[in-house]
């Protein structure tokens, strides 16, 4: 994994930081905006986080460990995907960071994914995160 290959996406959502935090860490909400993914975790630093579902007809079971959980501010975890084609070894884990920033009457959410396998994988992640954030925005602004 090239830790210098970073996928980045951000969006402004008409919601409070607490509402955005809830969307980032609530399994029922994640399932709604993130391709029907089933997420399990106790949401504490050092704990496991697991994702299971189907993407474009392929079953996946992804996993990681929560690195940082500052309510309404930052959520960060290591991440390995069964769909990525790499071995489940520490060197093949990306780092996903959600940063929540209040802005006037809205909230800015930025996602960084550090450690893509290739430029092609980075570009795929940029497009994926843009779609996920748009789905989250649509859900929260309903």
Say what the pLDDT of residue 3 is: 62
- Burial classification of residue 127, based on how many CB atoms lie within 10 Å of its CB (0-12 exposed, 13-18 middle, 19 or more buried): exposed
| Residue 112 · residue 97 · CB < 8 Å | yes
State pLDDT tens for residues 32-73: 999 999 999 999 999 999 999 988 888 999 999 999 999 999
Euclidean distance between CA atoms 55 and 112, whole angstroms: 21
- pLDDT at position 141: 98
Alpha helices by DSSP H, listed for the chain, are 17-25, 27-33, 119-140
Instruction: Give the Cα-Cα-Cα angle 83, 62, 87 (nearest 5 degrees).
Output: 60
Closest CA to 37 of 71, 90, 82: 82
pLDDT in tens, the chain (142 residues): 556 789 999 999 999 999 999 999 999 999 999 999 999 999 999 999 999 998 888 899 999 999 999 999 999 999 998 887 789 998 899 999 999 999 999 999 999 999 887 888 899 899 999 999 999 999 999 9
Rounded Cα gap, residues 93 and 78, in angstroms: 6
pTM: 0.93
pLDDT score at 2: 54
Number of H helices, E strands in the chain: 3, 7
Q: What is the CATH code of the structural domain delimited by 2-140?
A: 3.30.530.20
Burial class from Cβ neighbours inside 10 Å (0-12, 13-18, 19+) for residue 139 reads middle
């Amino acid at each position: 994994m090239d830790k210098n290959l970073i996928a980045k996406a951000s969006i402004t959502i008409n919601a409070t930081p607490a509402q955005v935090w809830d969307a980032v860490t609530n399994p029922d909400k994640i399932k709604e905006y993130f391709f029907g993914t089933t997420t399990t975790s106790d949401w504490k630093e050092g704990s496991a986080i697991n994702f299971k579902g189907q993407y474009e007809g392929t079953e996946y079971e992804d996993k990681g460990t929560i690195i940082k959980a500052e309510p309404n501010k930052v959520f960060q975890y290591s991440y390995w995907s069964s769909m990525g084609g790499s071995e489940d070894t520490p060197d093949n884990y990306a780092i996903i960071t959600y940063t929540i920033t209040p802005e006037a009457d809205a909230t800015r959410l930025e996602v960084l994914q550090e450690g893509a396998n290739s430029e092609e994988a980075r570009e795929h992640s940029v497009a994926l995160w843009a779609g996920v954030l748009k789905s989250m925005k649509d859900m929260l602004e309903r």
